[in-house]
Amino acid sequence: MIPVRNYICNSKQEVPFFMRRKDLDEDRIRECLTGALLQLMKEKEFGAVSVGEIAERAGVHRATFYRHFRSKEDVLRAFLSQIFKGAAGNREMLQKDFSSFIMPVFQALYDKRELILLLHRAGLSGLFMDALKDYFDSNGQREAPGREKTGADGREKNSGAGLLEEYRTAYRIGGIYSCLLLWFSHGMAETPEEMTRIAASM
């Protein structure tokens, strides 16, 4: 996993000594590749950043990039995934106290607001929708009451309360995503507490 912390990579594009070690930790490689991309995005447009530049900045070979990520977008998906995973939530909070469920998301994004706004200004806000869906799904929707598995292919269907909860979750995800876009356009000026009150009132 990629630690959600301040990414520090080689700004002079020289291969650092520790990156030459064959036993370098895989998580550290992913961390450096992520940091390299974020660093380059501060210097040029996302579309102008090449995989070769990312690898060079991280101090690894280009082939190493593709052993860990499929694309530049994949790097950022993993980055956002780690941020959302750090926002601990659970199904009980989703059903009983929505404010407590969503507040950690706003706080986690706010803590990384410089990088979050970097992604937004690069036209990559769509990645946040995927991250939101994963957050809700992993913390609530998969275990929604009324959901049953049917058929040899394991496809799922909902009925009764489970169906209503699934639509309610989809409605909330869409609303929160729209709030995030507006928040980003404001430069994330509102506090996480203010955003939580707004989201909970919808």
Among 26, 41, 76, the domain-final residue is 76
Share of the chain above pLDDT 70, in %: 73
User: In the predicted model, is pLDDT for residue 34 greater than 80?
Assistant: yes
**DSSP conformation letters of 38-57:** HHHHTTS-GGG--HHHHHHH
DSSP element (H, E) containing 144 = none
100 and 48 share one domain: no
Q: Quick check: helix, strand or coil at residue 91?
A: helix
Give helix 98-111 / helix 161-185 axis angle, nearest 10°.
30
Same domain, 44 and 130: no
- The CATH number covering residue 21 comes to 1.10.10.60
Same domain flag for 107 and 150: yes
pLDDT value for 144: 45
Locate 182 and state its tokens: 């507006």
What's the mean pLDDT in 43-53?
Answer: 97
User: For residue 6, is it within any domain?
Assistant: no
Number of compact structural domains in the chain: 2
108 pLDDT tier (thresholds 50, 70, 90): very high
Facing residues of 157 across strands?
148
- Provide the CB-side half-sphere exposure for 27 (13 A, CA): 6
Average pLDDT, the chain: 82
Residue-wise pLDDT for 115-141, tens only, equals 999 999 999 999 999 999 988 887 654
- Which residue, 124, 122, 117, 103, is CA-closest to 176? 103
The rounded distance, in Å, linking the Cα atoms of 62 and 65 is 5
Report the amino acid identity of residue 21. R
Domain that holds residue 193: 87-201
Domain match, 187 and 92 both: yes
Same domain for 101 and 32: no
* Same-domain pairing of 147 and 182: yes
pLDDT average, residue stretch 148-165: 62
pLDDT digits (tens, 9 = 90+) for 59-91: 999 999 999 999 999 999 999 999 998 886 555
Q: What is the pTM of this model?
A: 0.77
Domain assignment of residue 92, yes or no: yes
Beta pairing partners, 148: 157
